[in-house]
Amino acid sequence: MGVFICSETATSLERRDSTAIQTMTQFSGSFMDMLEVRMAFEVHAAGLAATRRSLAQEAEIWATVRAFEAAMSDDTALDEIDFAFHQAIIQATNNSAFIEFFTIMGRRILPADTFSRARHPALITDSYIEHTLTEHRAICVMISDGDVEGAREAMRAHLTRAHDRYRGILYHNS
């Protein structure tokens, strides 16, 4: 039994949290640093989604895969649908911290124009996009099967390939 004194009030805690969020959104790490954060974050999220998703969340993940397939020739749509795919997996973790982190950092860790054949013709080919669809399906299958390690490995393989592409984009742009 005892008494303790807390010097932080709810207001000071909120101010500290707000400062942390502002600092995160202004993170000065390199693009490749952010990709490493993305790898750690999304690989774990895929595993959580495999055990925690609801049927509705699983259906949403599959819907994004079907939308990606339907938009194979529309680079702008592919970028948005790819974002929605990764966002649906994060939602399926049912972990409020994951969801909040993705809400704050999602556009930072999933860059825009990644499927632009016009901007990156040597790297973004029809074959590359078809392979991305295959990877998305593999991730979905593992999540649907409740296979935690399979979901993590499928996401790891997908992101490793994406990171190689981003390295290529950075190399071609330098």
pLDDT at site 97: 95
19 part of a folded domain: no
Per the structure, the count of domains in the chain is: 1
Per-residue pLDDT of the chain (174 residues; tens, 9 = 90+): 555 455 555 555 455 444 444 444 566 677 778 888 889 999 999 999 999 999 999 999 999 999 999 999 999 999 999 999 999 999 999 999 999 999 888 877 776 677 888 887 888 899 999 999 999 999 999 999 999 999 999 999 999 998 887 776 666 666
* Inside any domain, residue 23: no
**116 φ/ψ angles, rounded to the nearest 5 degrees:** -80, 105
For 154-166, the pLDDT digits (tens) are: 999 999 998 887 7
Whether 38 is in a domain gets the answer: yes
Q: Is residue 86 a part of any domain in this protein?
A: yes
- Answer whether residue 79 is part of any domain: yes
Strand (E) or helix (H) holding 45: helix 31-52
Q: How far apart are CA 117 and CA 128, in angstroms?
A: 10
65 within 8 A of 143, measured Cβ to Cβ:
no
Domain holding 126: CATH number? 1.20.120.530
Number of H helices, E strands in the chain: 7, 0
Q: Tabulate helix, strand, coil % of the chain (nearest 5).
A: 75, 0, 25
Q: Is 6 part of a structural domain of the chain?
A: no
> Any idea of the CA torsion for 58, 61, 63, 64, to the nearest 10 degrees?
180
**Residue bearing tokens 């409020």:** 96
Task: Record the pTM.
Answer: 0.81
**Domain containing 155: what range?**
29-173
Tokens (6 digits) for 11: 């207001």
Could you tell me if residue 13 is inside a domain?
Answer: no
Q: What is the pLDDT of residues 68-90, one digit of tens each?
A: 999 999 999 999 999 999 999 99
Residue 164 lies in a domain: yes
Torsion 136-139-141-144 (CA) sign: negative
